[in-house]
Chains A and B, each alone.
Chain A
């Protein structure tokens, strides 16, 4: 590869070319087969370099990991690991043995439940609500039905688009307060985008007008409070949710972490 090619390709990749130069470069690539071939080779080298550095870093992290004491698994996590899997059983015993050994050797009593930040707890427990409201079929005419359009975006995890569509729908008189589930999924999309404050208002409104999905909405409201570090309000809701079948375990776990 000639040096002039290398500089040109470097400049193209690092964004140092003006729009005009960029267009000229791309046109040149189409008409010059030698340059196109060199460019392909250059791209392959760059990807290979990235790959090599990632592999190298992974190895360094493995070495770093081996220099740390064993990860402190929470007690309930150990129970949840498949009890019939011999591999997992072996791992658990290995972990348990390592924890005992390290404890003995350095005289440390491990504290199994460390307090976590509300935002970390949000990240660990929040998952966007699954769309069970609007059935999306292949070939649906997305222009014809705004709900389909909104839920297609939601299912594609394009939450920005989904929020815009949900808000448009809710602004229409025929939908306003008549389809609370649109609010529910709007709140979920807002949480997925890290907009905890907006989601709190959305779920509070949902709970005022809806008769269904009350427990689920309270869970998401609690998630919003966690995301916003409103620990007192989150705790109150989670204590209530601790009694529910669906969220009892998770709510209990979060409450222990908040202590």
Chain B
């Protein structure tokens, strides 16, 4: 993968990611079905999870170098993250949850609480405006600075973007709290 494509993916460029998805699709899906005798649909599902993990790890700076074949990287993600979970029920999304879990969230009770919190934030985020979703994604998923966010989203200056950040996070937090209280009643 060339540096430019990698940088674009790190900045959240979905078109670049879609290209990577398409380029590696046949070979990786064939490899998964061949290696683990699973159905084509399962293999596609696992391949998509691996692409998501790649996207996450690129955004979080967990991939420091681009001196690798993306195909090799995806094979490694599949091997490490998913193969032992192939047979588990509701495997979908399990890989994502495991990726985000810290050691404090690992016992059964905390695990449930942790998963519920993730689900609540996910639901609350769906209710935000597109502007808030975009800004939150660039700031908190892609870890971009306010100047870059400002350039990408076309705000007047970083201060405007910063004020929007406060507002969006305040709304998100309020929605999560409301949903949490609703569940407790």
Residues of A within 8 A of B72 (CB): 119-120, 122-123, 194
B75 to chain A, nearest CB (A): 4
B170 contacts A1, C-beta separation under 8 Å: yes
Partner among A3, A51, A68, A94 whose Cβ is within 8 Å of the Cβ of B22: A68
Residues of A within 8 A of B8 (CB): none
Q: Is B27 an interface residue (CB 8 A)?
A: yes
B44 contacts A65, C-beta separation under 8 Å: yes
Give the interface segment out of A71-79, A135-143, A215-223: A71-79
Residues of A within 8 A of B27 (CB): 116, 120, 124
Residues of B within 8 A of A62 (CB): 48
Q: Is B63 an interface residue (CB 8 A)?
A: no
A48 contacts B37, C-beta separation under 8 Å: no
B29 to chain A, nearest CB (A): 5
Given known A-B contacts A48-B117, A52-B122, A119-B69, A60 and B34 have beta carbons under 8 A apart: no
Partner among B14, B97, B118 whose Cβ is within 8 Å of the Cβ of A60: B14
Q: Is B71 an interface residue (CB 8 A)?
A: yes
Q: Which residues 12-30 of B have a CB within 8 angstroms of A?
A: 14, 17-18, 21-22, 25-27, 29-30
A55 contacts B140, C-beta separation under 8 Å: no
Chain B contact residue count (CB 8 A cutoff):
61
Q: Is A31 an interface residue (CB 8 A)?
A: no
Contact with B along A81-95 (1 / 0, CB 8 A): 110010110011011
Q: Is B125 an interface residue (CB 8 A)?
A: yes
B108 to chain A, nearest CB (A): 18
| Docked complex Cα distance between A48 and B105 (Å) | 14
Given known A-B contacts A48-B122, A73-B40, A61 and B31 have beta carbons under 8 A apart: no
Q: Is B136 an interface residue (CB 8 A)?
A: yes
Closest chain B residue to A3, Cβ basis: B166
Residues of A contacting B: mostly: helix
Residues of A within 8 A of B140 (CB): 45-46, 49-50
A91 contacts B40, C-beta separation under 8 Å: yes
Q: Is A212 an interface residue (CB 8 A)?
A: no
Residues of B within 8 A of A134 (CB): none
Residues of A within 8 A of B25 (CB): 65, 68, 71
Q: Is B100 an interface residue (CB 8 A)?
A: yes
Q: Which residues 108-159 of A have a CB within 8 angstroms of B?
A: 114, 116-117, 119-120, 122-124
A22 to chain B, nearest CB (A): 17
Given known A-B contacts A58-B48, A71-B29, A119-B71, A49 and B145 have beta carbons under 8 A apart: no
Q: Is B10 an interface residue (CB 8 A)?
A: no
Q: Is A14 an interface residue (CB 8 A)?
A: yes
B136 contacts A49, C-beta separation under 8 Å: yes
B97 contacts A61, C-beta separation under 8 Å: no
| Docked complex Cα distance between A24 and B117 (Å) | 29
Which one of A47, A62, A81 has the highest number of Cβ atoms from chain B below 10 Å of its Cβ? A47
Q: Is B86 an interface residue (CB 8 A)?
A: no
Q: Is B121 an interface residue (CB 8 A)?
A: yes
Q: Is A44 an interface residue (CB 8 A)?
A: yes
| Docked complex Cα distance between A119 and B56 (Å) | 24
Other A-B contacts than A50-B140, A55-B122, A82-B37, 6 sampled, CB-CB below 8 A, are A6-B169, A47-B118, A49-B121, A57-B14, A61-B51, A73-B33
